[in-house]
Structure 1
Amino acid sequence: MSSPPAASSPPAAALEAVFDEAGVSGFVHARDIDHGYECGVRADEPVIVASLRKIPIALAYARRAAAGQLDRSARHTITAVNREGGGIGTDSCLHDVTMSTRDLAFFMLSMSDNAATDKLMEILGVEQVRSVAAELGCPRIPVGRYRDLWDPVWEELGIDADGDIDAQLDAVGEERIRALAMLDATRSASSTPREITSLLAAIWRDEAGAAEACAEVRELMSRQLSTHRLIAGFDDEVTVAAKNGSLWGVLNEAGVVEYPDGGRYAVAVFLRTPSLSGRNPAADAAIARATRAAVDALRRARPAAPLRETTCP
């Protein structure tokens, strides 16, 4: 099989300039979903995906729901067992919260709710999600429940997971956090930018499961509340469905950009930042700028014929 065509004007230099200006290390891959044109920087290097792992979880949920094996309206209660505290959505609630299976997936993708994610993982089962991820080309992506993923981190840092984690972290040096296996893509569960855009392209082409399941994941990803990264690179007439992710010194976002003329582009941007803080406006802006540069290059490469009528290379 021949290699996918590269964009006519590879934006590698422009992408590197965006990352250098923001003071970050960047990994990016973008693909024209309907024609196969690709571009990127370090697209096949392993990266820490953080909350992008929630995309295959959502797909596993949607596939089972579409097959009639799971009731979208069934009620489930998020309890203290699912909550770690200090997070977003139900993860910070003081009391138990009951919602439907579908709404667990909605909270998971729209606001990256970790407690909702854990409850959904409890319903689906780790092996079911792992199987879906492996089937779709992301065999090493982390798919366990939140506590299963974080307990090894607390053990590595010598932190009591049942105590005040924030207070204990304050006493941990930055160098010890940077040395964590969780933050080293060669020693922990990971993926690559190219694998993530391949996953997204399969969802958008209805190849990742039944058309109903793929459509539900696309709709849920279009509800993401965050607009300060990938989506910030585009005007209102451009539709963006995405999922972001953050960890210490890690800022990511991946999604699909759709133009009114039918052009569809899957993009995944992964950044490593010099600061462990989750607040980095320059890095957030770099994700938007890198995405726009990559998509512009792919649009320059696209054929003149309508995208939906052209056979993928």
Structure 2
Amino acid sequence: MQIKYLLISLIGLMMASCQSGPSTEDQLETLRNQITAHLSEVQGDFAVAFRSLGSDTLSLMINEKESFHAASTMKTPVMIELYKQVALGNISLDDSITVVNEFKSIVDGSPFSMDLSVDSQEGLYGKIGQKSTYKALNFQMITMSSNLATNILIDKLDAKKVTQTMRDLGAKDIEVLRGVEDLKAYEQGLSNTTTAYDLMVIMEAIAAGKAVSKEASAAMFEVLKAQHFNEIIPGLLPENVTVAHKTGSITGVRHDSGIVELPSGERYVLVLLSKNLKAPEKGIQVMAQISKLIYKFVENKEG
């Protein structure tokens, strides 16, 4: 009789095991294979960093420590430094600041100006010589990726302090050396660089309320939510999904990095970096597909 009950128990356990489906590890491996298959469709180099907030086991990394030109993703560290200096009492978000278009090269201090034709925020150029505020310049830097606003802010905040703040947050490799369009620096290989892992770390800090403070992190999240360029991470996601993110692009480079929040409140951080793209539009499409795959994975795990 005992043997009979033992057999029944074993069969029940086996059935329950079968019904439970594949393990999280198996599901992540399937997701990885799907992502790498998509990436193989495009000529270029990619990095992926995904982690569910509050669950270190739900993560996926591909080339996460490889160095990439940061492009405009470096503007998120600049924003964090801005809020840090506000918290220290050095400045106020509402302080007036003159809009200028002359900056000094980090190579030799020689002056250079921004080229309107390659900036994404034309309106600010009409305000040169007039007053703006740190808050307004930050909003234009993040949401419209204004290079002019970025250089004005970096000139006031100090790029070295931006990088040190990233180190304090645990981002060990990201380097913010300079503003935008410093051609002398570019020609000497002095460019802002990042890894997918480091961008994930700083986005996690914002999501967790640990970038400067809970209040500052919440304010930065709201600015990132107002992003104007939405082709990659949010590109194929449902409209009721919130994405607070910062993009970046230069020749052969398309990036996106952000915090994704489902209607249920479930959140994760996703960073998608690319370089050496021969067909940038195809790269954007593939990264949008990867974002959708990860969203579906999280949604299914949640269910």
- Shorter chain as normaliser: what TM range? 0.7 to 0.9
Within a 5 Å distance, the mapping from 1:201-212 to structure 2 comes to 201-212=204-215
> Residues of 2 paired with 1:191 and 1:9: CA distance?
25
**Residues 33 and 266 of structure 1 are in contact (CA less than 8 Å); yes or no, is this contact kept in structure 2?**
yes
**Residues 71 and 192 of structure 2 are in contact (CA less than 8 Å); yes or no, is this contact kept in structure 1?**
no
SS in 2 for 1:137: coil
Shift in CA distance, 299/150, structure 1 to aligned 2, threshold 3 Å: farther
2:34 alignment partner in structure 1:
14
**Residues 48 and 61 of structure 2 are in contact (CA less than 8 Å); yes or no, is this contact kept in structure 1?**
yes
Query: Which has the bigger relative contact order, CA under 8 A and spacing at least 6?
Result: 1
1:235 alignment partner in structure 2:
238
Tell whether 2:179 aligns with 1:124. Answer: no
Tell whether 2:76 aligns with 1:52. Answer: no
Q: Which runs of 5+ in 1 are unaligned?
A: 157-180, 183-187, 305-313
2:43 alignment partner in structure 1:
23
Percent identity for Structure 1 against Structure 2: 21
1:289 alignment partner in structure 2:
289
> Residues of 2 paired with 1:148 and 1:233: CA distance?
32
> Residues of 2 paired with 1:233 and 1:53: CA distance?
24
Deviation at 1:92, TM superposition (A): 7.0
Larger radius of gyration: 2
> Residues of 2 paired with 1:299 and 1:237: CA distance?
13
Cα deviations by residue, 1:75-115 (Å, 9 ceiling, x for unpaired): 11222205411212158725514311101110110011111
Within a 5 Å distance, the mapping from 1:50-199 to structure 2 comes to 50-82=71-103, 83-85=113-115, 86=117, 87-90=119-122, 93=125, 96=128, 97-146=130-179, 149-154=182-187, 156=188, 181=189, 189-199=192-202
RMSD (CA atoms): 2.4
> Residues of 2 paired with 1:228 and 1:99: CA distance?
29
SS in 2 for 1:289: helix
Shift in CA distance, 145/195, structure 1 to aligned 2, threshold 3 Å: closer
> Residues of 1 paired with 2:171 and 2:263: CA distance?
30
Deviation at 1:140, TM superposition (A): 3.5
Which amino acid counterpart does residue 47 of structure 1 have in structure 2?
A: F
SS in 2 for 1:127: helix
TM-score by length of 1: 0.77
Q: Which runs of 5+ in 2 are unaligned?
A: 1-23, 104-112
> Residues of 1 paired with 2:298 and 2:178: CA distance?
37
Moved more, 142-151 or 37-46: 142-151
User: Would you say how many aligned residue pairs link Structure 1 and Structure 2?
Assistant: 266
Cα deviations by residue, 1:288-312 (Å, 9 ceiling, x for unpaired): 111222333344445x7xxxxxxxx
Shift in CA distance, 107/225, structure 1 to aligned 2, threshold 3 Å: same
**Residues 50 and 60 of structure 2 are in contact (CA less than 8 Å); yes or no, is this contact kept in structure 1?**
yes
